[in-house]
């Protein structure tokens, strides 16, 4: 990215983060509802720490940190960047206050603005890539602000909403179709000049057997049929680890679902609402997605299968900018439908390095590579992902029992 | 208490609670730093819930609760008052906001003021006792606000202070003397017309062997000598359970103490400060107090011994109203010194019912009696206790490993 | 004890331990079913270690240990005697084998026999007391062999028996009567020349209010009425800690009880049998005993009350030598009945040092004193206690949630 | 397999299991040292349960189970075969005794012998495959008997040996060479008539980039260099999950290694011995293998790479029949060396279904498929694997933190 592009994008991305926080009360910024989630306040600070640590401190000799101690408080997991405050204790910090964190943002933003304006071309081009990583990083935290805060609200018996949501429009159910693909030796992974994370590279070949992909994600109505068929009481359709998780955690439905005696309700960022039978089911773990697929006589797609199909589809969908923050019912059309947006789609592929994988250089080498075990790949982005952030080669990854992301299911199977 | 007394005391006590919160930022009200402690916000609401539940709802037919759902959120442990939100999850609630909780207080205070003004004499006298309990209850939570918030601040690497504290005045160390008492058959427990909790009654007899009581609490200097003598590495002076706690929790000094390589520092509500060698040691568990006493060739006093001595001493000392919120160095004088205020003094007496104990009637029966196992009695109040709250017969009680209260040590031994 | 007495008693006590093991298969000696219990093999070795460590090593210069490494393996909790194998890992040791442990016993017994024969009078008298402690210690482990192995068998779905038990004789229920006592200033604790543990001393005075004691222990029929009245669903009769234990552990009846749809059955050392309504209930925790007492409108006795009554009763009852290993139905007679034997009786008294308590000297100082927190006193012995072992002043002690001992309930109340 | 083959193989396999137990004392059969491991007694019974449950009960109408309750006790994880005793509690069972379990084996063996002799051809052929699975299953448990019992012995401070081992012969170190392979589109998975597990099928194609494979496993000397270079203190070479495991479990060397101040020693089935620098390192987790590989500038092989190379190598090596039960030093020769036997080799491939995977039919469908998450593939067998059991397509699988198998490391890297 050149100077002009960065000067345009930086304030856009940064201000969208703050815009997402507008509906929050001060108290909302503080709570950490589980070790894997972080307080909103922390996200605001950590994304600023990123620019301070990887751009301003190394590239701007005159830069004075807002508070030296923030290096410790807001480092997430970069051993190369020094000691850090333990992740499960982020919710124990009432200070710095929200106002102080916002001051910290302004301090960093001011220095970044000056750097983007004043830096000699060579200094800028040396840091251009890291800044672009930082903006993509901030976009990831925009999504986490929404999903982590949704989790906070869900712990509250008062059932507060992030902000009111419109009633979903009426409409018919869209039947599931199977789209057949020949597979064969295909090239996957990012190519071309645009930004991509290291984990999307290098482009490489895989061999795919012929397969079919569902034309749309699994809907809540379909998932209710799974529930009604005793899906959570049938070990034969579950992975062994999944069944153990189910028993230990007492799972009986997707996260945020509750039954009122008559029907299923769902906690959403717009408050407690009836489950929409036409919308993609979400907040299911890999184990649930896999069990559903087996119950349905299908399987989850390989990430290669998904990417092969997606690479010829436009990147359009229900993303964060729509402000819906909830998967929308499928609309009729030629499939594949809703590949992008709405829900992240669990794949059957563990998150692994591509052949010849090279991590980002220096401290950013910890960004992705060290998480390449114990996680599955999800594809396509969700209703909480910023539009700009996603592409066909994008690989998200979460542990197999994670449910607090907008994670859903698309089925695949061998071609007939 | 009659109408005039209640009308005077109620606003006094309630406003002192809020005055204690003045130095807090909004964020400070939200955090719960451990299951045994509660967010300040919760204390503000729970103490209001108490009046709402035990006075307004039963006695004022026209009373409309501020929010029906608060009955669930702010019930602490009263099974008789219905279901309740789990204590360890109090810090997961960002809502109600602090402003809403303060509105709740005003709502309750308004209704209470009207009740105290307008209630017919008989209705008032029927509730007078419960209101008095409620005010004493509020005073207990004033102390907890200070100790719980101290614990919150102590988790924070930024080492924030509740509010600045004055430098302690210079002064000499006061030597420890042994005061001898004959013991014998003595009457203990509350008597007379003033308020007392059910656990201070009935007055009854115990037989005490002759004993001697230390003229003042154990000081930090004395406790440092224990540390220097390897007190935390010598199982022979520890109770078995205490030694296990010490190992499991990695204890090596009182809570809030840290060594900077040169000297001991202490986190106080006024920030991180050097340990004052002349001040009573505090934030020690029963196990530590007991180990110290054994190391010193002494023992902890029985609660009967303590009360016998205290019952002829004036209730004066370093209490919450002094605003020091930290134990003060002993000042020279005729002992016993500092029996009241500064630090709660662990006794060697388990918290048990006195012979013939009768719990408060109805739901308040859960106030004290059900905690009469697994806890030891502490006596005398601390620098965080409101003055009005304490008396010679007052029994505080905490588990043997609790350290976050201002709990200290006074030695006793058999008379020569 | 003099030489002749020790020469007679030592082999008696030691051989009774081994006699208790006769019904066991080799496999039975190995299992540790919970951290608080030990494998039978360990008990056999540890009791030998006691004589080796506290008698033979210090008093017999020519003594050669059977295996130097046993000092580590079979030290229970004596810090003064060196490092020790962690208690929860005793069941991980398949070696030494049972045969080796029995060889160890013979090795120690041979050396002890020679010492008792050959030791000069002065050397013998210096060690006479420790040997007597060792024999009393062995008796305690005889009881633990039975209770720990009962716990092992109870984990086994095959429901094996230790050995067959006779059918209980028919007989009528014996009604409960209240026996009144005046109390006052009474002297308690061991006196006289016989053996007593340090925790039974010194004799001292306590003041007791007038009280009444139940003529017999609470029976299974009475406890079933508590169950039928929802005793395990009523927090109002439980201590707070007890209720939490009940919820966490899912308690719904005494340990070893199970309902077959029609009636209560009980795992006994003689196998699974119907609960005998006339027999004392046992395997209840302090929390259950206390809850039962509150439900019954009574309380548990103070240990002083119990001892006052027991000190004028003969030490007779259903002890281990009877070979029943199960509480027997009360037989009619003048009360108090079954004070000794059948079931240990929980008292309302925490296990604390008597005023002026002095631990045994040297390493034996760890025998009792360091456990004087977090435990309640039980009195009277059980059907698994050797007869010789018990007396009116004897104080047993266990944590409040312990249930695997033969622990039962005797009620008390204030005198009318 | 036909009748004659089964009649020959069945007693061979079954008796080898018992031969492995010959060095054991009765006590050795009972202990369970961790939830993932089982008592030897359990292995002996479970392998018999397999034939009883999947052959005798369904195929022999006249068969009478040895004890109906064993169906519950010795079912491992087959939901389709009914309820089962919890795995972590297998070590709590002293009964059935070893003698009873051996009787159970004889009972099953007698019935199987009669079935193999007398069954009509059709009945036999219907069960022939299940019997073959049962024999392969028994071979897996032969290895587990060795690894689980090694873990039991390792808990014992007495450091007992399973049986004495010979001194390793002297010899030089064999240098590591890199063997280059072209990769491309290759066919993997079992083909042909011999036995294979469902997880080795179907044969399918994968595309492999050119790669190089190390000529031999990583040796202890090489791993010591990793230790000496601070390998366990460098988060940069570890996966994030692995680093967390390392911290939580306090790992500092392979399982069973200990340092005596001078050199590394290793607990082996032959007792405590100096680490042999020329032998393959073993008892490392996937995380350790992966960290070592990154530190060494290499990576672990994909299972496809491994299988491609192994499919043209003879299945020879240091297997269980050799009786060494410990990896042997590499002997000079043309590589690849030690692909089979000595140590299982961790691959970089998660244990996943091959495209088109079909589980075994009926209850045996639970054998493999449900474990296809959270585990990595290991290849090649170990010094504890029976020779007959292994082949190039064989896929073993364990969680990423498992260390108690004979699991080692072979390096791979991209071709130059």
CB C275 within 8 A of CB C390: no
Q: Which residues of D229-249 are buried (b: 16+ CB within 10 A; e: fewer)?
A: eebbeebebbbbbbbebbeee
Task: Say whether B27 and A157 touch across the interface (CB within 8 A).
Answer: no
Most D CBs within 10 A among A355, A401, A415, hence the mutation to make, goes to A355
DSSP collapsed to 3 states, D361-392: CHHHHHCCHHHCCCEEEEECCCCCCCHHHCCC
Nearest CA in chain B to C185: B207
Mean pLDDT of D386-409: 98
Phi/psi for D302 (5° steps) reads -70, 155
Mean pLDDT along residues D127-140: 98
Percentage of the residues of chain B whose pLDDT score is greater than 70: 100
Assigned token pair, D406 = 């004979």
- The closest of B135, B165, B138, B151 to B271, measured between CA atoms, is B165
Judge: domain D178-414, CATH 3.90.1580.10.
yes
pLDDT in tens, B268-301: 999 999 999 999 999 999 999 999 999 999 999 9
Task: Calculate ∠ Cα C372-C377-C383, nearest 5°.
Answer: 130
Pairing of strands D211-214, D204-208: unpaired
User: What tens digit of pLDDT does each residue of B40-84 get?
Assistant: 999 999 999 999 999 999 999 999 999 999 999 999 999 999 999
User: Residue D339: which pLDDT band, with cuts at 50, 70 and 90?
Assistant: very high
Reduced DSSP (H G I as helix, E B as strand, rest coil) percent helix, strand, coil of chain D, to 5: 40, 15, 45
Longest dimension (CA), chain C: 66
Residues of D with CB under 8 A from a CB of A: 77, 79-80, 185, 204-207, 209, 235-236, 238-243, 286-287, 290, 348, 350, 352, 355-356, 365-366, 370-374, 400, 414
CB nearest to B400's CB, from C240, C370, C373: C373
Give pLDDT, residue A169: 80
pLDDT at A335: 84
Burial class (CB in 10 A: 0-12, 13-18, 19+), B393: buried
**In angstroms, rounded to a whole number, what is the distance separating the alpha carbons of residues C140 and C368?**
13
C-alpha span between C167 and C329 (Å, rounded): 12
Q: Would you state the pLDDT for residue B167?
A: 84
pLDDT tens by residue, C280-314: 999 999 999 999 999 999 999 999 999 999 999 99
Please indicate whether, in this complex, the C-beta atoms of C239 and B372 are within 8 angstroms of each other.
yes
Which DSSP category does A316 fall into? -
Contacts D206 to A, Cβ<8 Å:
206-207
Give the mutation candidate from B25, B39, B42, B94 for the A interface (greatest A CB count, under 10 A).
B94
- At A363 the pLDDT is 86
The answer, yes or no, to whether the previous bond of A350 is cis (omega within 30 of 0) is: no
Q: How far apart are the first and last CA of chain A?
A: 46
State which residue of chain C sits closest to B356, comparing Cα positions.
C414
Contact B97/A26, CB-based, under 8 Å? yes
- How big is the CA angle at A54 (ends A49 and A59), to the nearest 5 degrees? 120
Q: Which residues of C touch D27 (CB under 8 A)?
A: 26-27, 29-30, 41, 94-95, 97-98
For residue D363, count other CB atoms closer than 10 A to its CB.
17
Residue in chain C nearest B186 by alpha carbon: C207
For residue C30, the chain D residues in CB contact (below 8 A) are 27, 30-31, 94
C335 pLDDT more than 90:
no
Task: Locate C197 and state its tokens.
Answer: 């543990």
SS3 B263: coil
Say how many Å lie between the first and final Cα of chain C, rounded. 46
Question: Which residues in chain B are contacts of C36 at CB distance < 8 A?
Answer: none
Ordered DSSP codes for D94-108: --S-HHHHHHHHHHH
Which DSSP string do the residues of A14-66 spell out, in sequence order? Answer: HHHHHHHTTT--GGGGT---STTS--HHHHHHHHHHHHIIIIIHHH-TT---S
| A–B touching, 3+ CB–CB pairs within 8 Å | yes
The mean pLDDT of chain A is 97
φ, ψ of residue D414 to 5 degrees: the values are -65, 145
Q: Dig out the tokens for B186 from the structure.
A: 């003595």
What stretches of A267-378 show up as alpha helix (H) in DSSP?
286-295, 303-310
**Residue A380: which region, alpha, beta or left (left: phi > 0; alpha: psi -120 to 50)?**
left
CB contact under 8 A, C370 and B209: no
The rounded Cα A237 to chain-centroid distance in angstroms is 27
- Report the C-alpha gap between A218 and A409 in whole angstroms: 6
Helix D3-20 and helix D98-118, axial crossing angle in degrees, nearest 10: 170
Q: Is D263 within 8 Å of D221 (Cβ atoms)?
A: no
- In a 13 Å sphere around the CA of D296, the CA atoms on its Cβ side amount to 25
DSSP string for residues in B81-115: G-----GGGGGG---S-HHHHHHHHHHHHHHHHHH
The dihedral over CA atoms of D8, D11, D17, D19, expressed in degrees to the nearest 10, equals -100
Among A86, A95, A151, A272, pick the best mutation site for testing chain B contact (most B Cβ within 10 A): A95
Q: Note if the bond before A96 is cis, omega within 30 degrees.
A: yes
Share of chain B above pLDDT 90, in %: 96
Task: Calculate ∠ Cα C344-C349-C351, nearest 5°.
Answer: 85
Distance spanning both ends of chain D, measured CA to CA: 46
Q: How far is CA C244 from CA B77, B366, C248, C377, in A?
A: 12, 15, 6, 21
**What's the pLDDT at B193?**
87
Q: Do B414 and B209 form a contact (C-beta atoms < 8 A)?
A: yes
- CB atoms C373 and B241 under 8 Å: yes
Which of C91, C94, C153 minimises the CB distance to D25? C94
> Quick one: residue D192, left, alpha or beta (phi over 0 = left, psi -120 to 50 = alpha)?
left
- Which chain D residues are Cβ-neighbours of A400 within 8 angstroms? 373-374
Phi/psi region, residue C317 (left: phi>0; alpha: psi -120 to 50; beta: rest), is left
Count other Cβ atoms within 10 Å, centred on residue B178. Answer: 16
Task: Label residue D168 by pLDDT band (50, 70, 90).
Answer: confident
Measured CA to CA, the distance from residue B313 to residue B331 in angstroms comes to 16
pLDDT tens string A65-76: 999 999 999 999
pLDDT of D236 strictly over 90: yes
Task: Round to whole Å and give the CA distance between A370 and A362.
Answer: 13
- What's the rounded Cα separation, in Å, for the pair D174 and D280? 11
pLDDT higher than threshold 90 for residue B169: no
Buried/exposed code over C169-180 (b: 16+ C-beta within 10 A; e: otherwise) = eeeeebebebbe
Q: Do C91 and D160 lie within an 8 Å CB cutoff?
A: no
ipTM above 0.90, yes or no: yes
**CB burial class (10 A; 0-12, 13-18, 19+) of residue A330?**
buried
Please report which confidence band the pLDDT of residue A416 belongs to, taking 50, 70 and 90 as the band edges: confident
Give the separation between CA D283 and CA A73, rounded to whole angstroms.
37
Mean pLDDT of the region A148-160:
97
**Of C359, C355, C5, the residue nearest C204 (C-alpha):** C355
Contact partners, residue A24, CB within 8 Å, separation at least 6: A40, A149, A162
- Contact call for D and C: 3+ CB–CB distances under 8 Å: yes
Q: Which of A30, A89, A96 sits opposite B155 (nearest CB)?
A: A89
> Is residue B166 predicted with pLDDT exceeding 90?
no
Rg of chain A in Å (alpha carbons): 22
Query: Which of C181, C370, C413 is the mutation pick for testing B, counting most B CBs within 10 A?
Result: C370
Tokens of B217: 């609490």
The separation between the first and the last C-alpha atoms of chain B, rounded to the nearest angstrom, is 46
Interchain CB distance below 8 Å, C373 and B239: yes
* CA pair distance B339, D375, nearest whole angstrom: 63
**Distance (Å, whole) CA C366 – CA C363:** 6
d(CA D102, CA D107): 9
Mean pLDDT, residues A161-186 taken together: 93
Q: Cα separation of A230 and A219, whole Å?
A: 17
Query: B167: Cβ–Cβ under 8 A, 6 or more apart, which residues?
Result: none
Tokens matching residue A290: 């896999």
Q: Do B239 and C400 touch (CB under 8 A)?
A: no
State pLDDT tens for residues A10-47.
999 999 999 999 999 999 999 999 999 999 999 999 99
Residues in chain B: 416
Q: Please give the Cα distance from D272 to D248 (Å, whole number).
A: 26
Find out whether D303 and D349 touch, Cβ atoms under 8 Å.
Answer: yes
Q: Which residues of C touch B79 (CB under 8 A)?
A: 235-236
């Amino acid at each position: 990215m050149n100077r002009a592009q960065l000067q345009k994008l930086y304030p856009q991305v940064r201000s969208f983060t703050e815009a997402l926080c507008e509906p929050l009360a001060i108290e909302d910024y503080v709570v950490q509802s589980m070790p894997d989630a972080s307080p909103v306040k922390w996200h605001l600070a950590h994304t600023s720490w990123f620019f301070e640590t990887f751009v301003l401190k190394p590239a701007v000799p005159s830069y004075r940190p807002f508070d030296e101690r923030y290096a410790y408080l807001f480092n997430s997991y970069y051993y190369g960047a020094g000691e850090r405050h333990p992740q499960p204790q982020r919710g124990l910090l009432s200070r710095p206050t929200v106002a102080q964190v916002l001051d910290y943002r302004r301090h960093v933003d001011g220095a970044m603005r000056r750097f983007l304006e004043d830096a000699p071309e060579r200094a800028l081009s040396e840091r251009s890539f890291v800044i672009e990583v930082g903006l993509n990083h901030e976009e990831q935290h925009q999504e986490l602000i929404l999903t982590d805060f949704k989790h906070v609200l869900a712990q509250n018996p008062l059932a507060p909403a992030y902000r009111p949501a419109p009633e979903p429009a009426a409409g018919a159910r869209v039947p599931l179709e199977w789209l057949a693909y020949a597979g064969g030796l295909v090239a996957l992974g990012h190519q071309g000049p645009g930004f991509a994370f290291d984990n999307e590279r290098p482009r490489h070949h895989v061999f795919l057997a012929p397969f079919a992909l569902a034309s749309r994600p699994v809907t809540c109505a379909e998932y209710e049929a799974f529930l009604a068929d005793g899906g959570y009481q049938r070990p034969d359709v579950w992975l062994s680890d999944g069944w153990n998780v189910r028993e230990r955690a007492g799972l009986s439905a997707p996260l945020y679902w509750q039954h009122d005696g008559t029907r299923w309700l769902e906690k959403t960022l717009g408050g407690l609402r009836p489950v929409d039978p036409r919308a993609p089911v979400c907040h299911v773990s890999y184990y649930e997605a896999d069990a559903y697929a087996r119950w349905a006589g299908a399987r989850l797609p390989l990430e290669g299968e998904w990417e092969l199909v997606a690479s010829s589809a436009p990147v359009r969908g229900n993303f964060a900018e729509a402000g819906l923050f909830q998967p929308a019912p499928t609309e009729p059309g030629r499939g594949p439908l809703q590949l992008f947006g709405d829900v992240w789609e669990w794949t059957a592929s563990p998150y692994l390095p591509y052949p010849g994988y090279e991590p980002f250089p220096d401290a950013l080498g910890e960004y992705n590579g060290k998480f390449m075990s114990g996680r599955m790949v999800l594809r396509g982005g969700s209703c909480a992902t910023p539009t700009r952030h996603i592409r066909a080669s994008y690989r998200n990854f979460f542990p197999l029992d994670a449910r607090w992301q907008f994670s859903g299911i698309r089925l695949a199977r061998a071609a007939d």
